[in-house]
Amino acid sequence: MTGLELKDKRILVTGGAGFLGKQVIDQLCKAGASKDKITVVRSRDYDLCQMEACKRAADQQDIIIHLAAHVGGIGLNREKPAELFYDNLMMGTQLIHAAYEAGVEKFVCVGTICAYPKFTPVPFKEEDIWNGYPEETNAPYGIAKKALLVQLQAYRQQYNFNGIYLLPVNLYGPEDNFNPNSSHVIPALIRKVQEAQERGDKQLPVWGDGTPTREFLYSEDAARGIVMGTQFYDDSEPVNLGTGYEISIKDLITTICRLMKFEGEIVWETDKPNGQPRRCLDTERAKKEFGFTAQIGFEEGLKNTIDWWRKNAN
């Protein structure tokens, strides 16, 4: 496949200092981009909720990969739905407009699986994204991110602006967010198990009843998919990035406990929310359009994530 040549491109990566962003920069360099032409904007210098900052960030760029997001697990989504809606909508919609005005050659928007309806037939196909309302606990975040898909399609139609929209499934990997107030399920459970071990607990309380299923994509695989989309995909339709492998929360915590050698009892807190019942993506479009398939096996990825946390927890 002959795709977009990255060698001399000036590339802006929002969220580039984050756990996925570092991997994306690594994959960009492997694909031929020059590291000295990649710009990472930090929130302390660029508040992307402000149009002036978006204009400064987009100026002189050839490609923008928009990863920056205000994001977290069920707890944060319940606590701060207004912030999650406002921040993600304003960052994305203003940056897209600033990129269009600046003549940016290509805009890559990384969306979220939270945009899918609560009861989407499994595996989730991209054309199902508008067939219902998202799961309530993360709907404000999901809808804010989904609005960016509409904006990119509208700007392509009216202005011939080349923006693509990628939908990665739940991510995990080394350098993930392990903050108990805002982390997603895998880092949250790894930390919870480690702390239970350190205290000598015989029981491990876990939210929900264990029945929901999730699909997880290792951060390095996600980054590779994002860069492949950047190089080889130029269409208006959204594209899922995932593995097609679905695991229940019950099996997930059992696997984490086995890998971390925790032998206590799992206690399900059934008064706490489960979140969306099932999540698993149809990944055929990414494979067909730009040849992406995940390469890191789930247990291998979990082991790498656990090892990183144990080395860096203190």
Binding-site residue ranges for NADP(+): 15-21, 145, 168-171, 184
Give the separation between CA 189 and CA 174, rounded to whole angstroms: 14
Matching residue, tokens 């037939």: 121
The HSE-up count of residue 222 (CA atoms within 13 Å, CB side) is 25
Q: How many of the other CB atoms lie within 10 Å of CB of 212?
A: 19
159 catalytic? Reply is no
Per-residue pLDDT, 43: 86
Give the separation between CA 307 and CA 125, rounded to whole angstroms: 34
pLDDT tens, position by position, 37-86: 999 998 889 999 999 999 999 999 999 999 999 877 777 778 899 999 99
Binding-site residue ranges for substrate: 192, 207, 214
Of 46, 116, 141, 155, catalytic? 141
- Per DSSP bridges, beta strands 216-218 and 203-207 are unpaired
Which one, of 286, 288, 269, lies nearest residue 217 by Cα? 286
Per-residue pLDDT tens listing for the chain (314 residues): 678 999 999 999 999 999 999 999 999 999 999 999 999 998 889 999 999 999 999 999 999 999 999 877 777 778 899 999 999 999 999 999 999 999 999 999 999 988 999 989 999 999 999 999 998 988 999 999 999 999 999 999 999 999 999 999 999 999 998 988 778 889 999 999 999 999 999 999 998 999 999 999 999 999 999 999 999 999 999 999 999 999 999 999 999 999 999 999 999 999 988 877 888 999 999 999 999 999 999 999 999 999 999 999 86
Coil, helix or strand at residue 300: helix
Q: Where are the alpha helices (DSSP H) in 102-184?
A: 139-159
Per-residue pLDDT, 211: 94
Coil, helix or strand at residue 66: strand
Give the separation between CA 274 and CA 270, rounded to whole angstroms: 8
Per-residue pLDDT, 314: 66
Matching residue, tokens 């920056």: 68
Give the separation between CA 62 and CA 181, rounded to whole angstroms: 36
Matching residue, tokens 């995990």: 172
Per-residue pLDDT, 1: 65
Distances in whole angstroms, Cα of residue 290 to Cα of each of 3, 136, 272: 9, 33, 40
Question: Can you list the positions of beta strands (E) in 16-62?
Answer: 38-41
Structure-block tokens of residue 28: 């960009």
Domain boundaries 11-172+215-244+280-295, CATH class = alpha beta
